[in-house]
Amino acid sequence: MYQYDQYDQAMVDARVEEFRDQARRRLEGKLTEDQFKPLRLMNGLYLQLHAYMLRVAIPYGTLNSRQMTALGDIADKYDRGYGHFTTRQNIQYNWIKLEDAADILADLAKVEMHAIQTSGNCIRNISSDHFAGATFDELVDPRPYAELLRQWSSFHPEFTYLPRKFKICVIASERDRAAMRLHDIGIQIVKNEAGEIGARFFVGGGMGRTPMIAPMIRNFVPLDQLITYAEACLRVYNRYGRRDNKYKARIKILVHELGKEEYTRQVEEEFAHMLDIGVEPPREELARIAEHFADPTFEYGPKTVDRSDPDFALWVDRNTHRHKHDSYVSAVISLKPVGGIPGDATGEQMRLMAQLAKRYSFDEIRIMHTQNVVLPHVQIVNLPALWSELDAAGLGAPNMDTIEDMIACPGLDYCALANARSIPLAQRISEAFDASGKTEKLGELKLKISGCINACGHHHAGHIGILGVDKKGVENYQLSLGGSEAEDVSLAKITGPGFTEDGVIEAVEKVTDVYLARKEGEERFLDTYRRIGMEPFKEALYG
Amino acid sequence: MDNPLGTSPDEVQFRFREDEVADHATVTVDSCCDQTNATAVRIEPGDDARVLLPFLDRLALVEVNFPGFADGRGYSAARILREAGYTGELRAVGDVLIDQLSHMRRCGFDAFAPDKPLDEEDAARAFATWGNVYQRADDTSGGRRKTIAELRHD
């Protein structure tokens, strides 16, 4: 994976010093809170309901065991012994003291990590496929391009005060495991008819209160123009994105209001101009970065494993993903134990995952946007040993992509924006489905819960989505069906009037019963919904 | 000179140019396009800097106004002017604060007239924040400064 050189390290160190100085000026009263707020946000520091929250960047979700160990140590030293992995492949600490923030950033810098641009109206952490560099179905490893974009977007002098936050995702396979088209810019690395590798640009997607699927604006950008094209997309947005209303300030609104054709025309014009000016890094830089992502030395070994333990066999079936080398798999560590808080891990668990990565996965770890952890390169022969250690530490839940593997935002338990709680609802749903034994029958079913309209829990993209709203001071939950963040991307539709907390759990039961009764062949919940439409589900809910 | 629109030379706190600060009558972007003798213009956030491109030869001062520091349109305006070859003074005016100075400088601003004077020491530190830089911008044009990627492959 990528390692900092002296330049990268100096940039991160400079940022820590800059932030220390900003905090000092804030304390001395030289900065007002209004002036300080965007600065602390650009260093990942939010003020939540009960305390400060620090969001640490995990670029394209990749980290090594030393970094994961440091994250665990920070949880113990500065938080309450745990951290929360997020849908941006980052980690958040929810109980941070402002006076500790600069020290935490310094601890992070020691292991080549930071909290730069994890919030604020700037280009955020670049996300990617959590199986990048390991999966059987990718064209190339997308991470070198993500790293090139990371460097370009870090402290970008022109794009630090954008109309609104800006999220970029890079994938390199037809399967979309990163919600690519629900990003401000989604980049798919593709091969053209001439056999050359390039970038396909989708611009103007997003969730939030106005969910939109990004349209494709360029089929193929040559790799030595990737940064230039991104810069053109951003400049048009920086100049013309709306600034009069923060709810209409994301690029999706600009693309929608201008129309895809007009936005594209403006980008192409800017792009042609920038090609003349020359903003692309030298070509050798991409080659230098790519060397960091060379495959580890895979060894041939057994391709099958003793499956006589049914619990182990179930975990293998559910939680492993096919690797490009047939003696290996990618193993998913579920952070969704039954009744647990989705995405939470204790400091101790983080250190254990770090050790296991070192022992079994060439020192590599990935964070999934579904709030789980991946050991990308596990030799098949090592799966039983890995599983028994995970299981003993409460990390062996065999539920990837099932209804128990739900995304939930922090909700009203932490977040100042939330209207309703998400976490207790997630806990109760996983308990209910585990108890009834229906999880297995339902197969792949993506349930996503947001505690407010900002949609951090991706409810628009859930096969089943739940949105918490405030109804005259009482928490109320709207149910929606038919969303997908994958290559078959779609936005979920609301079923009808909302439910109480108990009512929405019952409603989820009902819609899954409709699916089980109407399912044909190998259909997933989503497939059945798409075939039979909303009516049968409505009938069961409100009829 | 009655000059209600622009800043005066006295208000310029930081300047990275050798030439004399001239006192110009500053006009709006619209007026600048109509008045063939205007030598100083003020760009507001909603203005399109590109409409000035035909007149760059006669301009000695372009002020870019930041009514609020969080509105980043002025950064693009500055780069557009520099990319088009504008060599006159490019002055950031308005809600210009310590923590925006280094990025403004990178985008081509070479004079700063903040609404409220800034602490000199804090400003000096801010201008020197980045020993090296990742991106190409105005400060890397014409070989004045190498980006990190260029230094790596020197």
Roughly what angle, to the nearest 10 degrees, separates helices A143-153 and A283-292? 120
Q: What pLDDT does residue A48 have?
A: 80
A285–B152 CB contact, under 8 Å: yes
Chain B residues whose CB is inside 8 A of the A11 CB are: 130, 132, 134, 148
A360-364, B33-37, B78-82: least confidently modelled range = B33-37
Alpha-carbon gap: A235 to the closest alpha carbon of chain B (Å): 7
User: Any CB–CB contact under 8 A between B69 and chain A?
Assistant: yes
| CATH code for the domain of A240 | 3.30.413.10
Among A178, A221, A126, which residue's Cα sits nearest to residue A487? Answer: A178
Chain A residues whose CB is inside 8 A of the B79 CB are: 158
- What is the distance, to the nearest Å, from the Cα of residue A335 to the centroid of all Cα atoms in its chain? 14
Chain A residues whose CB is inside 8 A of the B98 CB are: 25, 30-31
Q: Is residue A296 part of a domain?
A: no
Chain A residues whose CB is inside 8 A of the B147 CB are: 281
Q: What pLDDT does residue B4 have?
A: 67
Q: Is A179 found in the same domain as A57?
A: no
Chain B residues whose CB is inside 8 A of the A152 CB are: 134-135
A35–B106 CB contact, under 8 Å: no
CA distance A394 to A294: 33
Q: Is A254 found in the same domain as A204?
A: yes
Alpha-carbon gap: B2 to the closest alpha carbon of chain A (Å): 32
Chain A residues whose CB is inside 8 A of the B119 CB are: 30
CA distance A244 to A236: 17
Q: Is A486 found in the same domain as A388?
A: no
A159–B75 CB contact, under 8 Å: yes
Q: Is residue A455 part of a domain?
A: yes
User: Any CB–CB contact under 8 A between B70 and chain A?
Assistant: yes
- A360 contacts A375 by C-beta, under 8 angstroms: yes
Q: Is residue A190 part of a domain?
A: yes
Tell me which of B90, B120, B134, B140 to substitute to probe the interface with A (most A C-beta atoms closer than 10 Å): B134
What are the pLDDT digits (tens) for A60-114? 999 999 999 999 999 999 999 999 999 999 999 999 988 899 899 999 999 999 9
Strand-pair category, B111-114 with B89-94 = parallel
A151–B122 CB contact, under 8 Å: no
Q: What pLDDT does residue A117 have?
A: 95
Range of the domain at A356: 310-392
Q: Is A378 found in the same domain as A514?
A: no
B134–A152 CB contact, under 8 Å: yes
Domain edge (last residue) among A243, A260, A290? A290
Q: Is A489 found in the same domain as A360?
A: no
Residues 6+ apart with CB under 8 A from B34: none
B69–A161 CB contact, under 8 Å: yes
Among A211, A215, A161, which residue's Cα sits nearest to residue A185? Answer: A215
**Which residue among B76, B100, B119 places its CB closest to the CB of A239?**
B76
CA atoms A493, A499, A501, A506: torsion sign: negative
Percent of chain B surpassing pLDDT 90: 82
CA distance B55 to A245: 33
| Count of C-beta atoms within a 10 Å radius of residue A312 | 19
Q: Is residue A297 part of a domain?
A: no
Q: Is A412 found in the same domain as A354?
A: no
Q: Is A152 found in the same domain as A285?
A: yes
| CATH code for the domain of A75 | 3.30.70
Percent of chain A surpassing pLDDT 90: 94
At A172, is the pLDDT very low, low, confident or very high (cuts 50, 70, 90)? very high
Using the predicted structure, report yes or no on whether residue B1 has a pLDDT greater than 70: no
Q: Is residue A429 part of a domain?
A: yes
At A514, is the pLDDT very low, low, confident or very high (cuts 50, 70, 90)? very high
Q: Is A266 found in the same domain as A324?
A: no
Q: Is residue A340 part of a domain?
A: yes
CA distance A495 to A482: 10
Q: What pLDDT does residue A27 have?
A: 87
Domain edge (last residue) among A243, A261, A290? A290
Q: Is A277 found in the same domain as A152?
A: yes
Residue ranges in A135-282 assigned as alpha helix (H): 143-153, 226-240, 251-258, 260-277
What are the pLDDT digits (tens) for A277-330? 999 999 999 999 999 999 999 999 999 999 999 999 999 999 999 999 999 999
CA atoms B91, B97, B98, B101: torsion sign: negative
At B2, is the pLDDT very low, low, confident or very high (cuts 50, 70, 90)? very low
Q: Is residue A457 part of a domain?
A: yes
CA distance A246 to A486: 28
Report chain A's mean pLDDT, rounded to a whole number. Answer: 96
Chain B residues whose CB is inside 8 A of the A280 CB are: 136
What are the pLDDT digits (tens) for A284-296? 999 999 999 999 9
Tell me which of A19, A156, A239, A251 to substitute to probe the interface with B (most B C-beta atoms closer than 10 Å): A239
| CATH code for the domain of A337 | 3.30.70.3340
Alpha-carbon gap: A151 to the closest alpha carbon of chain B (Å): 6
Among A177, A255, A249, which residue's Cα sits nearest to residue A212? Answer: A255
What are the pLDDT digits (tens) for A211-249? 999 999 999 999 999 999 999 999 999 999 999 999 999
Using the predicted structure, report yes or no on whether residue B36 has a pLDDT greater than 80: no
**Strand order across the beta sheet in which A328-333 lies:** A62-64, A364-367, A373-379, A328-333, A320-322
Using the predicted structure, report yes or no on whether residue A518 has a pLDDT greater than 60: yes
Alpha-carbon gap: A290 to the closest alpha carbon of chain B (Å): 14
Q: Is A349 found in the same domain as A265?
A: no
Q: Is residue A445 part of a domain?
A: yes
DSSP string, A326-381: TTEEEEEE-S--TTS-TTEEEHHHHHHHHHHHHHHSTTEEEE-TTS-EEEEEEEGG
Q: Is A387 found in the same domain as A411?
A: no
Q: Is A240 found in the same domain as A176?
A: yes
Number of independent structural domains in chain A: 4
A160–B136 CB contact, under 8 Å: no
What are the pLDDT digits (tens) for A384-411? 999 999 999 999 999 999 999 999 998 9
- What is the distance, to the nearest Å, from the Cα of residue A11 to the centroid of all Cα atoms in its chain? 25
Could you give the ipTM of this predicted complex? 0.97
Using the predicted structure, report yes or no on whether residue B103 has a pLDDT greater than 50: yes
Helix H, strand E, coil C: the string for A297-339 is: CCCCCCCCCCCCCHHHHHHHHHHEEEECCCCEEEEEECCCCCC
Chain A residues whose CB is inside 8 A of the B122 CB are: 21, 25, 30
A157–B149 CB contact, under 8 Å: no
**Which residue among B70, B73, B131 places its CB closest to the CB of A14?**
B131
B73–A285 CB contact, under 8 Å: no
Alpha-carbon gap: A142 to the closest alpha carbon of chain B (Å): 19
Q: Dihedrals φ, ψ of B107, to 5°? A: -85, 0
